[in-house]
Amino acid sequence: MTIKFGTDGWRALMPEEFTVENVKICAQAVCNFMKDRDVGRNGLIIGYDTRLNSNTFAESVAEVAAGNQIPVILCDRPCPTPVLSYNLVARECGAGVVITASHNSWEWNGFKFKPSYGGSASAAIISEIEKYIFEVEKSQNISTMPIETAEKIGVLEKLDPEPTYLNHIAELVDLNRIRNAGLNIAVDSMHGAGSKYFAKLIEGGSSRVEEIRGNPDPSFPGMIQPEPIEKNLEPLRKLLSNSSFDVGLATDGDADRLGLTDEEGNYISTLHTFALICKHLLENLGLKGPIIKSITMTNMINKLGKLHDIDVIDTPVGFKYLGPVMMEENAIAAGEESGGYGFTGHIPERDGLLSGLMILDMMSVTGLNPSDLLEELEEITGPYHFDRKDIAFNEQDREEKLHRISKPTFEHLGKLKVLNTDTRDGLKLHLEENAWALIRFSGTEPLIRLYAEGTNPDQVKEIIENCRMIVDG
């Protein structure tokens, strides 16, 4: 088989494709990449999530790294991707690997490669890694060393990744302010790697954290996949609707994404969540600098940018694009529609835990609950509504569907005039009335994603249907 890295690493089904053998191929490719760039001596840090056999796959990576005489730091427990990424930077490692399929369903697992800066690998780095993978697939030249041997001779170190990360977060957010705000916080960890982190960060004051689905469970029961979107958060929403909580926070399988509900359990879209976070950074924390957003992110950010006289820069989808631009522009934040947000002073990568803390800090500073914060936001930006529909397709139809969205010109989408188009990542149509549409192929799953933003729900529904007509022909 050919191992291909998508928007955020390689993901595949277990046990058909995601096997120990294929993981070792990826690991050897990473080792060859590191040695050729003379960063192997800096070591490889390895983390993993709560999925089935993720620890075993992580140990397989460690065995290959040790066999290549690359110092190994292996996490001794499941950990969120941002926790691993920050430890990578703090320890000045040459690179990192996380065994996780993030928000995919339980049958999947994945291999994320992290360069020394701790963010998602750039498109250029991914292309290089894939060349090394191809070479290893051909040669099958893989060096290994048993974990026990590596540990005995000092090539491998076991690491608790929590303290380093928790201490760093305390430098970025006023945790005492949150602890003493008297907030009742409901948390849904979705049986993933983010379990117990909010409690550890916030406990000790008048604020209280109650967590559901906090036990690791690789089957992710009661949900389609551990993705903190509205359809998967019914237990959290039910908890808030029947109790006196102030806010609901949810993290995905590897805790790099955030889902948010208001005090009554109403789901708040990822676009509104990022707009709230940006408003907090600009208005309450007084930060100044560019904001980076994916082309799937809301026009509300552009309005906030104009209000505060800062640049707002669009990129294709994925932190492999957002992260490098974030670093180049010294941005204060970056965000994408999937619920992943990154912050200045941290890693150029998504962090669902820090994102949740930013929402809690905003509530602590203002004394307002999420619904009131949304009302304040819309007074500034106006009302915006968003939707996304995913359409499964057969790989054999890919070229035909690509052709349908590659027409040179679209003058209208339904009743709305097309102002301009963006083809960097699928087909994005900027429409009149502050609306837009996007059709793009998923980088991680066999799906075509249809996105739309407009000023009312009916308009958004119509835009989505018109996009579907383009895809279906």
Average pLDDT across the chain, whole number:
94
C-alpha distance across the termini of the chain, in Å: 32
- Distance CA(268)–CA(392), nearest Å, equals 25
Q: What's the CATH code, domain 385-472?
A: 3.30.310.50
User: Is a pLDDT exceeding 80 seen at residue 35?
Assistant: yes
Confidence of residue 179 (pLDDT cuts 50, 70, 90): very high
Q: List Cα–Cα distances, 154 to 76, 147, 352, 417, in angstroms.
A: 16, 11, 34, 65
Domains 10-160 and 385-472 fall in the same CATH topology: no
Using alpha carbons only, what angle is made at residue 32 by residues 28 and 35, rounded to the nearest 5 degrees? Answer: 135
**What pLDDT is stored for residue 7 in this prediction?**
61
In SS3 terms, 258-319 reads as: EEEECCCCCEECHHHHHHHHHHHHHHHCCCCCCEEEECCCCCHHHHHHHHHCCCEEEECCCH
User: Is a pLDDT exceeding 80 seen at residue 1?
Assistant: no
Tell me what the mean pLDDT of segment 56-73 comes to: 98
Of all helices (H) and strands (E), which one includes residue 460?
helix 457-472
Comparing CA positions, the residue from 61, 15, 68 lying closest to residue 40 is: 68
User: Is a pLDDT exceeding 80 seen at residue 219?
Assistant: yes
Tell me what the mean pLDDT of segment 43-63 comes to: 98
Domain boundaries, the chain: 10-160, 173-381, 385-472
- Distance CA(297)–CA(358), nearest Å, equals 18
Tell me what the mean pLDDT of segment 171-199 comes to: 98
- 3-class state of residue 379 by DSSP: helix
The pTM of the full predicted model, rounded to 2 decimals, is: 0.94
Alpha helices in 43-155 (DSSP H): 54-67, 81-90, 123-139, 147-152
Comparing CA positions, the residue from 433, 454, 440, 359 lying closest to residue 401 is: 440
Between β-strands 267-268 and 291-294, what pairing exists: parallel, antiparallel or unpaired? unpaired
- Distance CA(167)–CA(181), nearest Å, equals 20
Q: Is the peptide bond before 218 cis (omega within 30 degrees of 0)?
A: no
Residue 226: Cβ-neighbour burial (10 angstroms; 0-12, 13-18, 19+)? buried
Tell me what the mean pLDDT of segment 332-342 comes to: 96
**What pLDDT is stored for residue 408 in this prediction?**
58
Tell me what the mean pLDDT of segment 184-199 comes to: 98
pLDDT tens-digit map of 85-114: 999 999 999 999 999 999 999 999 999 999
pLDDT tens-digit map of 411-436: 899 999 999 998 888 899 999 999 99
pLDDT tens-digit map of 274-330: 999 999 999 999 999 999 999 999 999 999 999 999 999 999 988 989 999 999 999
pLDDT tens-digit map of 352-367: 999 999 999 999 999 9
8 A C-beta contact, residue 70 and residue 38: no
**What pLDDT is stored for residue 98 in this prediction?**
98
User: Is a pLDDT exceeding 80 seen at residue 148?
Assistant: yes
8 A C-beta contact, residue 230 and residue 268: no
**What pLDDT is stored for residue 191 in this prediction?**
97
**Highest CATH level, class, for 173-381:** alpha beta
Residue 156 has φ and ψ, to the nearest 5°, of: -120, 135
Comparing CA positions, the residue from 350, 351, 349, 373 lying closest to residue 361 is: 373
Share of the chain above pLDDT 70, in %: 99
Tell me what the mean pLDDT of segment 6-24 comes to: 90
Report the CATH architecture of 10-160.
3-Layer(aba) Sandwich (3.40)
User: Is a pLDDT exceeding 90 seen at residue 236?
Assistant: yes
- Distance CA(344)–CA(60), nearest Å, equals 34
